[in-house]
Amino acid sequence: MELTHNTGHPRRWAILGVLVVSLLVIVLDNTVLNVALRTLADPVHGLGATQGQLEWSINSYTLVFAGLLFTFGVLGDRWGRKWFLQAGLALFGLASLLSAYAQSPGQLIGARALMGIGAAAVMPVTLSIISNVFDPRERGRAIGVWAGAVGLGVAIGPVLGGLLLENYWWGSVFLINVPVVLIGMVAAALLVPNSRDPKPGRIDVVGVLLSVVGLVLLSYGIIDGGEHGFGRPLVWASIVGGLVVLAAFVAWERRVAYPSLDVRLFRVPQFAAPVAVIGLVFFAAMGVMFFSAFYLQLVRGYSPLQTGLLMLPFAAAQLVFAPRSAAMVKRYGGRTVAVVGLVLTAGALGAFAFATADTPIWIIGVIFFAQGVGMANIMPPATESIMSALPREKAGVGSAVSNTVRQVAGALGVAVLGSVLSGVYRDQIAPAAEALPAPARDAATESVSGAYAVAERLGPAGQAVISAANDAFVSAMHWAAGLSAIFAALGIVVVLRWLPGRPVEEPARPPEPAVDPELAVVS
């Protein structure tokens, strides 16, 4: 009897369904927003947001999200994960309403930051609850399903966003979060058991403040420099100041008794290597997802709905391959699976460096599919490696670090690659924009969306502006895509050097099955 005893919760699979719905609403929001960026930039049908403001509409969410994950992971462990899950969903739903009815880019950025607070309360407790309700022998499979929810959100978001944008005003893409939030809150109240860490850590207020201030300063400098040029002292003061504050954050975390981020964990290869890989992949991928929406809707002329459908191959690959990655890791080892995933991801991202305004659209679909397959075989083994490096009651720490790195890297990817995109675009279009009146010239050189708005006012003469803007944007996209592929390829080096492969002792475990659950709990 002891050989088959399962220590998991009796309703663990139903509970996993609730957690998937809760995770889905967070992922859904970001994928919907990617399709809506072009509309938000429209001064007539949207908010007339500049490229920098569009980047901040993404980064205000992700930076607040990332900055609070450490603290909210500890608070969830201390006060109860179920309560934190419900409170986070409620705040996320309220902030979605505020985003939907924002009257200016500034209001949207503020509402998105509030959404980040709610998401920070939800995300860490989902993995913590999984680790507490599942037997360690089933945990890898459960995490694979959890990761598959990301693919589901990616699949639903762009298509749903496109449908809403073609039939309703832009705020409807945020309102769609509300019913999902309500479903998640009711299901959590009925099914999810409460749990907490019997020995929670203290709240590191200084560490949280240092991390948020440092990341905001760094991101502001990068985004503002990309939008207006890096020749101004304010830009470099912001970048250098952000790096100094982040260095102070690391120094503080090494000294404090209860750090929000225990930097000593990064001495453990099983923990540090997958965290680094996650960071590199999301830095590269989020930047590419940002500019691909403009490429498809402006350069290629597809509607928001068509753009969403063109992104389906990425989502389909996530849905099919992410749940199966745990079995692949068991068979071939985490190192091999991760390397294959990284090669596919780096190759797909790099392929955008060769895309033009005339590239057959089926090739773009293949690129998205390859990227989806690659990322589906990176995230689950990396997440499982991170979680298994810590004891079960400290699962909140592992999930917080994993998701914080993902969000910070994604925000910096949008900022850095967005700045590269802006800088190259501005240089490339400058000769063609010189003949335009000053206000039109400024709008055309600020972003490709601005150039299209100028072209509409010029009538037939605007076709030359559109042609120049498309050429400039594609050239800028090539530079950004090449840089993203380099960062993804660095992950291969990290995996080969530090990520553990298949344990050599695995074949010897079956003769001693009674010991497995105990060993897995403390792993």
> Would you call 210 exposed, middle or buried from its count of C-beta atoms within 10 A (0-12, 13-18, 19+)?
buried
Locate 277 and state its tokens: 């890989």
Q: Give the H/E segment covering residue 301.
A: none
Q: Is residue 517 pLDDT above 70, yes or no?
A: no
**Cα dihedral angle (386, 389, 391, 397), rounded to 10 degrees?**
-40
115: nearest Cα among 77, 165, 62 = 62
Residue with more model confidence, 124 or 209:
209
pLDDT digits (tens, 9 = 90+) for 277-308: 988 998 898 888 888 888 898 888 888 888 88
pLDDT of residue 134: 80
pLDDT digits (tens, 9 = 90+) for 460-511: 767 888 888 888 889 999 999 999 999 999 999 988 887 766 654 444 444 4
Could you tell me the pTM of the whole model? Answer: 0.76
Please report where in the chains the tokens 């929000």 appear, as a residue. 260
Q: Is residue 230 pLDDT above 50, yes or no?
A: yes
pLDDT of residue 160: 83
**What average pLDDT does range 406-414 have in this prediction?**
80
pLDDT of residue 50: 79
Q: Rounded CA gap, 256 and 241, in Å? A: 22
By the 8 A CB rule, do 333 and 363 touch? no
Give SS3 for 327: helix
Locate 344 and state its tokens: 């596919």
Q: Where are the alpha helices (DSSP H) in 377-447?
A: 379-388, 395-433, 438-446
By the 8 A CB rule, do 31 and 161 touch? yes
**What average pLDDT does range 16-40 have in this prediction?**
80
Look at 77-86, 98-107, 175-184 and tell me which has the smallest mean pLDDT.
Answer: 77-86
Q: Is residue 153 pLDDT above 50, yes or no?
A: yes
378: nearest Cα among 416, 346, 412, 417 = 346
pLDDT of residue 506: 43
What percent of the chain is modeled with pLDDT above 70?
87
169: nearest Cα among 46, 11, 336 = 46
What are the CA-CA distances from residue 407 to residues 59, 87, 101, 112, 367 (Å)?
A: 9, 21, 25, 14, 23
Look at 79-88, 196-205, 243-252 and tell me which has the smallest mean pLDDT.
Answer: 196-205
Residue with more model confidence, 137 or 91:
91
pLDDT of residue 520: 30
What are the CA-CA distances from residue 364 to residues 229, 312, 328, 357 (Å)?
A: 31, 11, 27, 11
**What average pLDDT does range 310-323 have in this prediction?**
83
> Would you call 308 exposed, middle or buried from its count of C-beta atoms within 10 A (0-12, 13-18, 19+)?
buried
pLDDT of residue 392: 63
The average confidence (pLDDT) of the chain is 80
476: nearest Cα among 445, 453, 443, 452 = 445
Which of 3.30.365.10, 3.30.1130.10, 1.20.1250.20, 1.10.3210.50 would CATH assign to domain 10-203+260-500? 1.20.1250.20
What percent of the chain is modeled with pLDDT above 90?
16
Look at 361-365, 407-411, 425-429 and tell me which has the smallest mean pLDDT.
Answer: 407-411
**What average pLDDT does range 105-125 have in this prediction?**
88
DSSP string of 92-154, one letter each residue: HHHHHHHHHT--SHHHHHHHHHHHHHHHHHHHHHHHHHHHHHS-HHHHHHHHHHHHHHHHHHH
pLDDT of residue 522: 29
Q: Is residue 443 pLDDT above 50, yes or no?
A: yes
Ordered by start, the domain boundaries in the chain are: 10-203+260-500, 204-259
Burial 19-55 (b: 16+ CB within 10 A, else e): bbbbbbbbbbbbbbbbbbbbbbbbeeebbbbbbbbbb
DSSP-assigned letter for residue 302: -
Angle at 461 between CA 455 and CA 467, to 5 degrees: 60
pLDDT of residue 419: 84
